Amino acid sequence: MSVGKLFGKGIVSDNPVFRLLLGLCPVLATSTSVFNAIGMGVSVIFVLLCSNILVSSIRHFIPQKIRIPIYICIIATFVTIVDMVLAGFMPELHKSLGMFIKLIVVNCIILGRAEAFASRNNPFHAIIDALGMGIGFTLAMIAVATFREILGNGTWFGMPVLGTSFEPVLLMILSPGAFFTIGLITGFLNWLDHRKRIPHAVLNG
Amino acid sequence: MDIQNLLVISVGAILISNFVLSRFLGICPYIGVSRQMDSAVGMGLAVIFVMAIASAVTWVIYTYFLMPTHANILFILFGKEGQSPTDLTFLQTITFIFVIASLVQFVEMVIQKTSPGLHRSLGIYLPLITTNCAVLGVSFLNIDSGYNFMESLVNGMASGIGFTLALVLMAGLREKLETARVPKAMQGAPIAFVMAGLMALAFMGFSGLSLG
Amino acid sequence: MKEIVKFAVVLCLVMMIAAVALSYVHSLARPRILAQQQKDLMAGLIAVLPGSELGVITSHPSGYYTGYASKDSSDLIGHAFPVVSRGYSSDIRTLVGLDTAGVILSVKILFQQETPGLGTRIEETRRGESEPWFQNQFRGKSIEEIRLDKDGGPIQGITGATITSKAVTDGVRIGLRRFQESVNAAIQNISE
């Protein structure tokens, strides 16, 4: 597979959030503002990149039967590093993401990529895969957060966009808004797929 | 023991801040395992079980192995006179995930030995639970909320019940949905999300309950 | 059996490497995290005891702080004390500053992890204003006035975040009462 195709796979055709329905908890929980979404996205990219590189570099030395605990250990280490770095250098972001930074450990995207891709490919491809998947995840977060922040708060990235007469739809910031937004976006992407008559990916899960 | 306090924690975890619908934990199994009632019930029971045990075990580990107190077992064993206990709380994430992963393995083995029937119905869900963020989430929440041992145990169990409630309700709805005419693009996960949104809206009504 | 031993050894090794790596990063990050917390606390104290940025703030072993407007601790501004209350999804830490007459000078939220967009609005600053409106409502209030509108008081709660608003308001009131009681006890001790 060409490098470009590998990179694009995570962003479009195999988008972890909208297509594979992985890592939904942080998408729903921390997409209340675009700032938080980017913070979460970058944290996930960092962990994904580091774990993919490490898993792929030592893939020949990991005993098959205990590979999962080793992956979890590697991921947990990088997550803790992100947690400490954010606490020290970006306390505001650390506060607003809260527990969800630590919960990156159980984000299925990261363990999924370690198991399905990094353990079978060389570090260079693992880096491309991590970047594609990570950026795909971040873009999905930004998409959800854009809807929620504009409608729910009248701002985008903290900048007022809808004028002072706009009464924010509080529902969008609350939990129902998160579910509605992601449901409608996945539905819309399905609809685009059907129109293009592309045999559609795993979407019934 | 303060029964009223435990009751407040339970009602809070089941209804008011429901794990799935208001805390957004455990969404993957919520969407993935809610297509049939049988599997939803099986998954739910397994989660209640693991969450209760995990809450208790992680609480003990955090309090007696990681926290820098004079009751820290590592300090009692290896600490020297006049030394102050070391703060190991930065190892929280890695210890907890390991404890949960081993716990799930252990529970699976025990169930397999003692009750093959239960193992047949719960067995396939147990490995999925390791990466269910609800279990790790409740362990963190117990610590962040400063709960004591009993409160953690009750919170773990009640959160599991809340998860099961949301999951079983969703499964019931999706079984009915089989006969409904859903637009093609919205079939499957999209309509499940929209229904989850409506359920979250309904559960928000519980936040008006005043407790305590 | 031999395999199990090998796996155990490998896993232990991996765990140990991880623990060592984390300890190293922790030792680098910890001073920063502590400094950050100290900075937050100092900024909070200066905010609730206006005028103390030019003077000194002393801390007392019983857990409260005293601010002076000059370096030689002559001009007393007032006292400040921290309050911890249970919010919707986290413990909320609040600093309360009092003037010499015991009236609230200012209230500041130091830490909270409430629902983003709802409970977190206790720290929100409205467009065109420079200070968070929710916390500002406490200024100049006496102890009996510190009640939420839903409980018949003048403090306007946040729509959709009653639990958070109530936690802060009740926390401040209870903390204030406790502080007054301990101060009264201290004064009595001195006079006796």
Q: What is the per-residue pLDDT across B105-163, written as a single tens digit (0 to 9) for each?
A: 888 888 888 888 778 777 677 777 877 888 999 999 899 888 899 999 999 999 999 99
Residue A203 within any structural domain of the chain: no
Q: Is residue B108 part of a domain?
A: yes
Q: Which amino acid is at A73?
A: C
B133 within domain boundaries: yes
pLDDT of B12 > 60? The answer is: yes
Q: What is the maximum span of chain B, computed from C-alpha positions, in angstroms?
A: 73
Q: Is residue B212 part of a domain?
A: no
pLDDT at B212: 46
* Domain that includes residue B54, residue range: 3-206
Whether residue B154 is contained in a domain is answered as yes
Predicted-complex ipTM score? 0.87
* Cα–Cα dist B149/B55, whole Å: 9
User: Which candidate in C22, C37, C111 is best for mutational testing of the A interface (most A CBs within 10 A)?
Assistant: C22
Confidence of residue B192 (pLDDT cuts 50, 70, 90): very high
For residue B98, the chain C residues in CB contact (below 8 A) are 15
pLDDT at residue C191, as a whole number = 58
For A99, the closest of B97, B132, B137 (CB atoms) is B137
Domain annotation covers residue A16: yes
Does C29 contact A85 at a Cβ distance shorter than 8 Å? Answer: yes
Q: How many helices (H) and strands (E) does chain A have?
A: 10, 2
Residue A132 in contact with residue A72, Cβ under 8 Å?
no
Flag whether residue C170 sits within 8 Å of chain B, measured between CB atoms: no
Give pLDDT, residue A187.
93
Contact B193 A182 (CB under 8 A): yes
Q: Is any Cβ of chain A less than 8 angstroms from the Cβ of B174?
A: no
Question: Contact partners of C by the rule of 3+ C-beta pairs under 8 A?
Answer: A, B
Range of the domain at A86: 3-196
Structure-token pair, residue C111: 């830490």
CA distance A175 to A113: 28
Residue A132: per-residue pLDDT: 94
Helices B149-177 and B37-61, axial angle in degrees (round to 10): 160
Strand partners, C65: C59, C80
Task: Tell whether A32 is covered by a domain.
Answer: yes
Residue with tokens 């916390």: C135
Quick check: A205 and B194 CB within 8 A? no
CB contact under 8 A, B204 and A175: yes
Number of domains composing chain A: 1
Dist. CA A77–CA A71, nearest whole Å: 10
- In 3-state terms, what secondary structure has residue C93? strand
Predicted pLDDT of residue C122: 86
B209 vs B26, higher pLDDT: B26
Pick B90's closest partner by Cβ from C26, C88, C163. Answer: C26
CB pairs under 8 A between A and B: 133
Q: Does A64 touch chain C (CB under 8 A)?
A: no
pLDDT, residue C99, reads 87
CB A18, CB A185: distance < 8 Å: yes
C90 and A73 within 8 Å at the Cβ level: the answer is no
Gap between the Cα atoms of A48 and A54, Å rounded: 10
Is residue B63 pLDDT above 70, yes or no? yes
* Percent of the residues in chain A that have a pLDDT greater than 70, as a whole number: 95
- What mean pLDDT is predicted for residues B170-197? 90
Domain count, chain B: 1
The pLDDT mean for chain B works out to 86
Which candidate from B23, B91, B98 shows the least CB-CB separation from C22? Answer: B91
- Please say whether the beta carbons of A144 and A178 come within 8 A: yes
pLDDT surpassing 50 at residue A2: yes
Phi, psi of C80 (to 5 degrees): -135, 145
pLDDT in tens, chain C (192 residues): 778 888 888 888 988 999 999 999 999 998 998 998 888 888 889 888 888 888 888 888 777 888 888 888 778 888 899 998 888 777 888 999 998 888 899 899 988 877 766 777 888 887 777 888 898 899 888 888 889 888 888 989 887 788 889 899 999 999 999 888 887 777 666 655
